[in-house]
Amino acid sequence: MGESLVIASGKGGVGKTSVSINLAVALAQLGKKVTILDADIEMANVELRLRLDGAGVSLHDVLAGKANIMEAIYDGPGGLKVVPCGTSLEGLRSADQSRLGDVLRELLEKAETDLLIIDAPAGLGASLSALAVAQEMLLVVNPEIASVADAMKVKATYEELDGHLLGVVVNRVTYDEEDLKIEEIEALLEADVIAVVPEDREIKKAASYREPLVLVKPYSDAAKAITKLARDISDNKYGPAEGHKEDIVSRLLSGLFGRKKG
């Protein structure tokens, strides 16, 4: 069974999906078997950024019971495997979100992957199933108080679920006077900042090309920061998640949906 890493944020607009995609590709470029799954059931866009929109079977179909998870895996750029969520309103209406935890566990058991990266929806409520399944979490914030304050809630919830916080990525850093300092962010979150990704105009360009930044502009400042993070993770610099073996999905879903999963 592969390892799992959820990439989460307390609010939208912090660049979480960009970090998720580029980190996943960077790890794949290092020789890891990496699968990225878009768990943002309502506002998915990983497939749009990777030219996989309209690919066919999606996570929506799996959650609706119309397909199995292995049918929803596609080849992405740089050796990456991708599970698109689906973007149609019809797919969203038919998706049974309470099945997400079971589907993620099945993917981890059956897919030939070293690492499953789960791009979680922004915020707390919608991301709970993804947080519960993942062995480790990477928290993405911007250097502003509102972003960090919302991230504190996500971190606290994940720790209640016995998850291991790999670290914090501070994204879109401009080094303006108004930005929170790294040490201030670490103090507020009581966690280590393990990557600082600067604001980089090349990110928007890559997004417009619908290509990962680490492939089209690998020597840009943001790409270099993410590639360094990938190397550190690959080298196990931050240590494995210890003791996170308890199946907490059933307990969580019981609270969310009023019934326990078998």
Instruction: Please state, in angstroms and rounded to a whole number, the distance separating the CA atoms of residues 158 and 186.
Output: 17
Most confident of 13-27, 31-45, 76-90, 243-257: 13-27
Secondary structure (3-state) at 76: coil
Please calculate the CA angle 24-128-52 and round it to the nearest 5 degrees.
40
Distance, CA of 204 to chain centre: 19
CA-CA distances (angstroms) from residue 63 to 14, 66, 84?
27, 8, 12
Instruction: Please state, in angstroms and rounded to a whole number, the distance separating the CA atoms of residues 131 and 122.
Output: 11
- For residues 139 and 2, which has the higher predicted lDDT (pLDDT)? 139
Instruction: Please state, in angstroms and rounded to a whole number, the distance separating the CA atoms of residues 22 and 26.
Output: 6
Which residue bears the tokens 């979490």? 137
Confidence check: pLDDT of 253 > 60: no
**Nearest one of 98, 20, 34, 37 to 63, comparing CA atoms:** 98
pLDDT tens column, 52-97: 987 789 999 999 999 999 999 999 999 999 999 998 888 888 888 8
Confidence check: pLDDT of 100 > 70: yes
* Domain topology for 3-254: Rossmann fold (3.40.50)
Cβ-contact 23, 129 below 8 angstroms: no
pLDDT tens column, 121-135: 887 765 677 888 888
**Nearest one of 25, 41, 35, 45 to 4, comparing CA atoms:** 35
Element (H, E) at 82: strand 81-83
Residue 88: DSSP 8-state: -
Beta-strand runs (E) in 94-163: 115-119, 136-141
pLDDT tens column, 203-250: 989 988 999 999 999 999 999 999 999 999 999 877 654 444 344 344
Query: Six-digit token pair at 141?
Result: 């914030």
Element (H, E) at 230: helix 221-234
Strands 34-38 and 81-83: parallel
